[in-house]
Amino acid sequence: MTGLIRMMLRIYNHFLDLKDASHSGNESLSDGFPSIIDIPSFIDFMIMNEIASNVDAYQLSTFFHKDRNGKLRAGPIWDFNLTYGNDLFFLGFDRSHTDVLQFDNSNNDGPEFWKDLYDDPAFKCYLSKRWNEVTAANKPLNYQVISDKIDQMVTLISEATVREQARWHRVGNHANNIAALKNWLQTRINWLNTLFSDYSACSNPFIPPLVISQIHYHPVASGVYSDDDLEFIQISNNSNTAVNLSGIYFKELGITYSFPYNSSMAANEKIYLAGNASAFQQYYGFSAFGEFTRNLSNKSEKLVLADAFGNVIDYVEYQDSIPWPQAADGSGPYLQLADMNYDNSLASSWVASNQFIGIDRAAEEINFALYPNPAKASVTIEHRNPEIASYTISGLPGQTLISAANIGKGKVTIDVSRLLPGTYLITVVFKDGSKSVKKITIL
């Protein structure tokens, strides 16, 4: 019960934070409403309820959901019986009009943060932009598209309409009713067009040059680590300038991750996000930039990297079936973007790779990759440049157990099957005379 109360308090405080941030017009990426809510879902929620002039929206029949460590999302939408001009007329209500905003209606007692969000210039701009996207020619909320859909439904239920009238006498003049609905809808859309016309301030947002370049969605379990423990996503800065990561997050349901405020990526840097940061560090030999919540699907998942207002930075929807590389589905290799300038939404742009993963340490202390860790039969050490000159495996008291010199390679696999279970040190000396030491656990 105590855990449930704590959870309820966290949710309650989240809505209080939204109330304060929206009312003050706080657009900060650290503690303003863009850091609290998934803006695209709130915008879509408003559009779907406003095009229908839904009198139950905002105050009743309004739902939210939130992933652990994720943003608050609006939806799913629900309960559309009092819409499109229909209301509880027999109780004296008449609220679903073509020329009112239901979140700014004296008859609607919903939270004030909806009106506060609408009054914020940035939110209003993206609301208008989205409205114009979905109501454009051939788009789902375009009047002609909806009208054609209505005609299709009328044809589909034409026989049932006759039987409905004969049995219940509730259909009335069906043709007139359909014409009235269409007229109401066209009037409503035209009125909303006058409110949501200008989005010039957000029509051309800056899109940072970030690329999803590696995806290990179905690793092979190793030792104490499950396949989920070893998942990772590599993100690359495909430019010669640094990128501020504040506000950037994965916007689709699935894995959850938001970059910390004021975090950044250096020019041409590559970083890793891990499913289990501790396991990643021990197994791959270096620290992940961050840890995402939930696991990558072993079948298919849509990965959409976006900024705080939902502008898409990069998009990949991988599959475990042809034409996507089959070897990446639980056989050991991971998905690797073949070229940083390829369109990574295409399966043909990806290959299966089992090459060493790591980070560019040109400006850091010399280090090396060590995997797997823990190990059982063998362990691999790897470093790109300079090459490895020699290595030594010793017990913690300092006695040398395994060693080799004059290697002159960037990668070497060592048989450790004769070592007793425990913790050991691996000392690697590089060709330039530098050296580095790591711990390894033998199972």
Neighbouring-strand partners of residue 352: 335
Q: Specify the amino acid at residue 195.
A: L
Which of 138-147, 194-203, 315-324, 383-392 has the least mean pLDDT?
Answer: 383-392
- Supply the pLDDT for residue 355: 80
Neighbouring-strand partners of residue 37: 72
- List CB contacts of 389: < 8 A, sequence separation 6 or more: 405, 406, 407, 408, 429, 430, 431
| Burial (CB count within 10 angstroms: exposed 0-12, middle 13-18, buried 19+), residue 248 | buried
Residue 134 CA to residue 387 CA, distance in Å, equals 56
pLDDT, tens digit, 9 for 90 and up, residues 344-379:
999 999 999 988 776 543 333 456 788 888 888 999
Residue 441 CA to residue 439 CA, distance in Å, equals 7
Neighbouring-strand partners of residue 435: 429
- Supply the pLDDT for residue 366: 54
More confidently predicted of 138 and 90: 138
Question: pLDDT at residue 237 above 50?
Answer: yes
Question: pLDDT at residue 109 above 70?
Answer: yes
Question: pLDDT at residue 157 above 70?
Answer: yes
Structure tokens given for 255? 């894995």
Structure tokens given for 71? 């943003």
Question: pLDDT at residue 170 above 50?
Answer: yes
- Supply the pLDDT for residue 440: 86
Residue 53 CA to residue 101 CA, distance in Å, equals 7
pTM assigned to the model = 0.81
Backbone angles phi, psi at 289, to 5 degrees: -65, -40
Which of 65-74, 92-101, 394-403 has the least mean pLDDT?
Answer: 394-403
Mean pLDDT of 108-118: 89
Residue 10 CA to residue 72 CA, distance in Å, equals 12
- Supply the pLDDT for residue 398: 63
Mean pLDDT of 272-282: 93
- Supply the pLDDT for residue 364: 38
- What is the arrangement of strands in the sheet containing 422-430, beginning at the earlier edge strand? 400-404, 388-395, 422-430, 435-442
Contact 369, 344 (CB under 8 A): no
DSSP 8-state assignment for residue 256 = B
Tokens 């589909």 locate to: 156
Q: How many residues does the chain have?
A: 443
- Supply the pLDDT for residue 365: 44
DSSP 8-state assignment for residue 225 = B
Angle formed at CA 276 by CA 273 and CA 280, multiple of 5 degrees? 75
Question: pLDDT at residue 47 above 90?
Answer: yes
Res. 1 pLDDT band, cuts 50 70 90: low
- List CB contacts of 370: < 8 A, sequence separation 6 or more: 285, 379, 380, 381, 382, 426, 438, 440
Question: pLDDT at residue 172 above 80?
Answer: yes
DSSP class per residue in 8-55:
HHHHHHHHHHHHHHHHTT---TTTSHHHHB-HHHHHHHHHHHHHTT-T
pLDDT, tens digit, 9 for 90 and up, residues 289-317:
999 999 999 999 999 999 999 999 999 99
Residue 340 CA to residue 250 CA, distance in Å, equals 20
Backbone angles phi, psi at 181, to 5 degrees: -60, -45
